[in-house]
Amino acid sequence: MKRISARRRWAAPALAAAVLLTTACGDDSTSAGDTATSEDKGSLTIAFSNAVPQVEKVPTILAAEQLEEEGYEVELVWLQSSEDPVQAVVRGDAQIGTANTSTIFGATAQGAPVKAIAAQNKPAYAMVVPVGVTSPEGLDGLKVGIHAQVSSTALYTNLLLKDHPEVKPNTLVVPGSANRIQALIAGELDASVVQLSDLQVLEEKAPGKFHVLLDYAAEMGDIIDSAIFTSDSFLDENPEAVQDFLDALLTQQQRIKDDPQVLVDGIVANVPDVTEEQAKGFADTYLSSNVWPEDGNFTDDSIATTLDAIKQYGGLDGEPTADLCCTSEPLNEVLGQ
């Protein structure tokens, strides 16, 4: 993997410089299918919001591989923060981006000329609690970890407690899901929202001490956690490329459900330091939680539900609207609606 240092900036304040990790797709060992063609369809750069690939991103990586087989030259760009892909797409350094919806919707409220066009994944998170806690009321007074005051973990903690205003946990900021897992094991936290991929580590290191109180993807599937977005200009000027990307994404999301070994292989090939056995566990967890929707999970209802949650609990500056942040037209074209 080649490392390139670069600065990325756009007009919105407080968006910092990023370090980019770039990877060319098309490795024969992870071929996405039999759609190869010699036709040159141009180049696409896809910007991600994490410095290393995560399980949630694997179907999107497989979609990029499919696009290469269809004739696109594709580059994947791995950035440090969720704001960085927005900068990259606004500047034209990338044509497609993925980031959490709070970041994308908040950026549009500040004037960023981008549109979300599909869900990348539902919330791949779970609230883990001591085995004696069986309801949200049991969190009262407990030390509950979040990544930051404005973060997905804070959002999902608030959503869990929205119908329980009497419950007052002691909220502690512990950045990073892996760090919160370690804090749980050490007894420094009682409960936390963590990524699904960290549940195995928690059970291995603290067997029988914690359980999942809420699986957000399974129970709050109408929330869009991470979305695919592009710039207004690229959407207007390259509708075929946008639809080709969305078609590849839906194809790969369905493909991993039809054959989970495809997902296992994709995890091993792309997520650092994951064994075959661990990948099988991840695949079981993510597929059973239905993290990746076959239809893009990008409807008027899911957009409205996500916007309402973010406005109420996301701590955003500005008021994002469905018209500003999103368009479902390209996805509906692919779905034949």
190, 228: one domain: no
pLDDT score for 319: 82
CA neighbor of 152 nearest in space, from 265, 19, 314, 30: 314
Residue 144 near residue 196, CB atoms below 8 Å: no
Which one of 192, 219, 246 terminates a domain?
219
202, 63: one domain: no
Measured distance CA(245)–CA(42) in Å, rounded: 13
Partners of residue 192 on adjacent β-strands: 128, 145
Instruction: List pLDDT tens digits, range 187-229.
Output: 999 999 999 999 999 999 999 999 999 999 999 989 999 999 9
Residue 70: other Cβ atoms inside 10 A: 18
Which one of 204, 219, 234 terminates a domain?
219
Q: What are phi and psi of 249, to 5 degrees?
A: -65, -50
Higher pLDDT, 40 or 116: 116
Residue 48 near residue 76, CB atoms below 8 Å: yes
Residue carrying structure tokens 């900021």: 173
Which one of 219, 248, 276 terminates a domain?
219
Q: What are phi and psi of 180, to 5 degrees?
A: -70, -35
149, 17: one domain: no
133, 175: one domain: yes
pLDDT score for 1: 31
Contacts of 207 (CB under 8 A, 6+ apart): none
Token code pair at residue 245: 């990307």
Q: Which domain holds residue 178?
A: 125-219
153, 284: one domain: no
Please report, for residues 31, 114, 207, 331, the alpha-carbon distance to residue 20 in angstroms, rounded to integers and kept in the order given.
Answer: 24, 21, 37, 29
88, 229: one domain: yes
Instruction: List pLDDT tens digits, range 81-113.
Output: 889 999 999 999 999 999 999 899 999 999 999
The whole-chain average pLDDT of the chain stands at 88
Provide the CA 15 distance to its chain's centre, in angstroms: 19
What b/e readout covers 228-264, taking b as 16+ CB neighbours within 10 angstroms?
bbbbeebbeebeebbbbbbbbbbbbbebbeeebebbb
Instruction: List pLDDT tens digits, range 4-14.
Output: 322 223 333 33
Instruction: List pLDDT tens digits, range 35-76.
Output: 444 478 999 999 998 878 999 999 999 999 999 999 999 999
Domain count, the chain: 2
151, 29: one domain: no
Cα angle 200, 262, 230; round to 5: 90
CA neighbor of 15 nearest in space, from 78, 91, 76, 75: 91
Measured distance CA(201)–CA(17) in Å, rounded: 32
Least confident stretch, 258-272, 298-312, 313-327: 313-327
pLDDT tier at 324, thresholds 50, 70, 90: very high
12, 29: one domain: yes
Measured distance CA(314)–CA(327) in Å, rounded: 21
Instruction: List pLDDT tens digits, range 222-260.
Output: 999 999 999 999 999 999 999 999 999 999 999 999 999
CA neighbor of 147 nearest in space, from 192, 107, 190: 192
CATH of the domain at 58: 3.40.190.10
235, 108: one domain: yes
96, 132: one domain: no
Least confident stretch, 106-115, 254-263, 312-321: 312-321
CA neighbor of 85 nearest in space, from 119, 51, 42, 40: 51
Higher pLDDT, 133 or 82: 133
Measured distance CA(198)–CA(103) in Å, rounded: 23
Contacts of 120 (CB under 8 A, 6+ apart): 56, 57, 59, 60, 98, 225, 226, 227, 228, 249
pLDDT score for 25: 57
Token code pair at residue 200: 């195995």
153, 192: one domain: yes
pLDDT score for 20: 44
Cα torsion at 157, 163, 166, 171 (round to 10°)? Answer: 0
pLDDT score for 151: 83
- Torsion 108-307-293-331 (CA) sign: negative
How much is the pTM?
0.86
Kindly calculate the radius of gyration of the chain based on its CA atoms and give it in whole angstroms: 19
pLDDT tier at 337, thresholds 50, 70, 90: low
Residue 37: other Cβ atoms inside 10 A: 9
pLDDT score for 14: 34
pLDDT score for 24: 53
pLDDT > 90: what percent of the chain? 74
83, 129: one domain: no
